[in-house]
Amino acid sequence: MIQRIQSLFLLLSAIVMAGLFVPTLAWIKTKSETFAMELTKFTPQLPLNDADSASLMPLVIFVCLIIILSLVTIFMYSNRVMQIRITVINLILKLGVVGVAYFYAVASAALIQGEVMVNYVLVFPVIALIFDYLAIRSIGKDEALVRAADRIR
């Protein structure tokens, strides 16, 4: 039953979240230089010492986990209740990605006395949230249909 509409919504959610790997998430402008915050690194490297240097690895792990969960959830069509639960967990993780990305940008800007300018790419998790909501709604409709069919028997 991979051809269901919720499978399409979950696939679109994973694709949109994978789109975070390509462009710049935010820029940090100082008086003399502009730093681009990508998902995996700052370009050029931030002029911080090792104690202040913030690794973006938790953000990468969050996004990879979200993509994997979305793809795994597609194939859990036989257990619809578990599919809904994992999609809700995925929703919470997507909210966490936006929060963590914003935190890294603001914290890094504070360390180098810069100003944060957020890119449109941080809207991608919000679009993925909408796809997840639509998937949850469709999974719930399937579950209601199956329960109604069980009552008739």
Report all structural domains of the chain as residue ranges with CATH numbers, in order of start: 5-147 (1.20.140)
**How many helices and strands (H and E) does the chain possess?**
4, 4
CA torsion 57-58-60-61 (nearest 10°) is 120
Give pLDDT, residue 85.
Answer: 95
Query: How far is residue 8's CA from residue 123's CA, in Å, rounded to a whole number?
Result: 20
> Does a cis peptide bond (omega within 30 degrees of 0) precede residue 44?
yes
Exposed e or buried b per residue across 89-103, where buried means at least 16 C-beta atoms within 10 angstroms of its C-beta: ebbebbebbbebbee
Strand partners for 29: 34, 115
Tens digit of pLDDT at every position of the chain (153 positions): 567 899 999 999 999 999 988 888 888 888 888 888 888 877 777 766 554 455 788 888 889 999 999 999 999 888 989 999 999 999 999 999 888 888 888 888 888 888 888 888 888 999 999 999 999 999 999 888 888 887 776
pLDDT at 51: 41
Intra-chain end-to-end CA distance of the chain, in Å: 22
The pLDDT, as a whole number, for residue 27 is 83
Res 13: pLDDT = 95
